[in-house]
Chains A and B, each alone.
Chain A
Amino acid sequence: QKTRRVLGTDIRDLFKSAGRLVDDEFLDELFARLIRTDMGTKPANLIRDEVAKKYRGRVVELEEVIQTITEEIRSQLRQDDGDLAKAKSGPTVILVVGVNGSGKTTSIGKLSHYLRAARYSLVLGAGDTFRAAAVEQLTIWSERIGCEIVKGNKGVDPASIAYQTVEKALEIKADYAIIDTAGRLQTQKNLMQELQKIRRVIEKKIPGAPHEVLLVLDATAGQNAISQAKGFSEAAGCTGIVLAKLDGSAKGGVVLPIRDQFQLPVKFVGLGEGMQDMAAFDPDSFADALLKG
């Protein structure tokens, strides 16, 4: 019951205005709040230990401790590689990968909208040739945005779609080519190899491409996202994360250990299903939101 109550309250409530003694009970409540963000037990234990070391046995002020924790998280997330890549010349190729249903296709729609608004020309590649109506879904997005799309019949080799997309981008001198892929689990060896093949095909056409391989993570995902980051990075060489569905009640704290272990920066966050529901990742506001009820 006690933990239930704690889970439903703001972290600030743990620290009464008069201050509160930092003891085991206090630290457990703090730990509960940290776990709730999906950061996992390891980072949560680290933060808990840090607070214990600094404050145990003391009566502390609310703002002081919040400041410490938020600063800790901010520093873990601080990044200077958060901008979207841009090729020095020719089209910038972005490959979008991730597990089933994480938000890849929708994120492509939003990213395209964002690029179009910045007056870039672009071409989309409907590389999910597997899932029912995946091509139709991306086609609708291309129509909303008003951009070119390269597509093939269901079941064709996605690598050939990727090839044609890059070819088209070169031909029409597009600024960006964004290639969608079918959802797959990182444990599926053959499908992960397919991503490597797609990469190779793109690279052949434009040396140095893809310039960006975005891994789309679902913000509601728990610790499995770490395995996703590992598997997709190994197979496809991810360069950044799109954290989709951050508009729900999930916190997406698993990007903390991912950042720590794979140096993968979060580049964008998804905040809804509409065209404009995407924002550049901001570590400070993310860290602040993480510890709010």
Chain B
Amino acid sequence: MFDSLSDGLQSAFKSLSGKGKLTESNMRDGLKIVEESLLESDVSYSVVQEFMGHVTEKALGKRVLLSLRPQEELVKIVHEELIETLGPVDPSLHLNADRPTILMLCGLQGSGKTTTCGKLTQMLREQDIEPLLVAADLQRPAAIEQLKVIGEQLGVPVYTETDHQDPVKVCKNGVDQAKRNGNRVVILDTAGRLAIDEELMDQLKKIDRKVGPDQVYLVVDGMTGQDAVNSAGAFNKALELDGVIMTKLDGDARGGALMSVKQVTGVPIKFIGTGEHFDALEPFRPEGMASRILQMGDMVAAAREA
């Protein structure tokens, strides 16, 4: 259709001269284009609808700033609303002062959990904290080995049990080990699972109940599509998540699924993964993500400067 959102909006508003108010009728085409753009960036349909409702409400009757063209005014409103939806930020791991902090990573298969264990470890190492990694994925071939290698590369201990078939016990024993060894942080690497797999979701709930992690993070693939509302909703329902980490944002994925995840869970987005190496973990910044989802960096910058 259009190469970019800005081109589309430009043409949608071309009948409208410089100044005036945003009205339902003069915004109609522009809103339609914003809506399609969000869907193309993989924000889930229901989330887009709700979002567009808010934007329309905010925009109606708004006087267009003298220095802005109407499409820029609309983009500005959309961008600000996106930032608001994606925030607020909270990159803290909320470490306990008096006892080990247990972090648990969970998510769909292949989303990046094990790699993110390594990245969090690297981050903690920079603060002189040595975490204990617990290999609680007893499912995927060589998952334990993968975490062991990561532990070796980063020089931190990894708790493994090769003869156990019960991840709940492995997690419990791992936490006990951390207490004995005086590790301030324990990171549980759980097996990937489908949100509709009741048996495996029950297993996660059991770990949650019996081990009581302080922080439970959902690791979401940045390339996820419409299903994000369902899967994130199910993980949040089972576990009461404390945060979200979105991975694989080093490519050209627009990452709109993050909007869906945020909307359905309401928990803060903690970090984003931007590569396979351990240093490729960044604190989440809503502004950058909003521009990325809308894929309109230049236009937003122009509108914000005005």
Contact = CB atoms under 8 A, between A and B. Distances in A.
B145 interface: yes
Contacts of A134: 142
A221 B252 contact: no
B153 A218 contact: no
A73 interface: no
Given A99-B251, A136-B142, A185-B250, A218 B226 contact: no
A7 B46 contact: yes
B39 interface: yes
Nearest to B43: A222
Contact of A141 (B141, B194, B250, B256): B141
Given A36-B226, A248-B196, A273-B109, A133 B142 contact: yes
A220 B40 contact: no
A249 B40 contact: no
Interface string B191-210: 00011100000000000000
A178 to B, nearest CB: 16
Contact of B225 (A3, A101, A132, A250): A250
Contacts of B141: 109, 136-137, 140-141
Given A7-B45, A132-B149, A185-B250, A103 B195 contact: no
Interface in A6-43: 7, 32, 35-38, 40-42
Interface stretch (A89-97, A205-213, A223-231): A223-231
B225 A221 contact: yes
B227 A250 contact: yes
B230 interface: yes
Interface in B38-80: 39-42, 44-46, 49
A99 B140 CA distance: 18
B231 A187 contact: no
Interface residues of B, number: 48
Contacts of A248: 108, 194-196, 227, 231
Given A4-B46, A100-B276, A103-B110, A222 B223 contact: yes
A249 B230 contact: yes
B5 to A, nearest CB: 13
A181 interface: no
Interface in A131-165: 131-134, 136-137, 139-141
Contacts of B230: 249
Contacts of B145: 132-133, 136-137
Contact of B45 (A36, A130, A228): A36
Contact of B42 (A32, A37, A223): A223
B257 A222 contact: yes
A100 B112 contact: yes
B39 A132 contact: no
A35 B226 contact: yes
Interface in A242-266: 245, 247-251, 254
A249 B195 contact: yes
B146 A245 contact: no
Contacts of B44: 36
A183 B185 CA distance: 30
A221 B147 CA distance: 25
A162 to B, nearest CB: 21
A38 B146 contact: no
A137 B42 contact: no
Contacts of B226: 35-38, 222, 250-251
A99 B142 contact: no
B6 interface: no
A4 B47 CA distance: 9
Nearest to A35: B45
A112 interface: no
Nearest to B248: A100
Contacts of B36: 41
B223 A221 contact: yes
Contact of A102 (B110, B250, B253): B110
B254 interface: yes
Contacts of B256: 222
A102 B41 CA distance: 19
B227 A3 contact: no
B224 interface: yes
Given A35-B45, A36-B45, A186-B251, A218 B110 contact: yes
Interface in A187-207: 187-188
B118 to A, nearest CB: 8
Q: Which of B49, B110, B143, B196 has the most C-beta atoms of chain A within 10 angstroms of its own C-beta?
A: B110
B106 interface: no
Cβ-closest 7 pairs across A and B: A222-B225, A101-B110, A222-B42, A185-B251, A133-B146, A250-B227, A132-B149
7 contacts: A35-B39, A133-B143, A223-B254, A228-B223, A245-B110, A248-B108, A273-B109
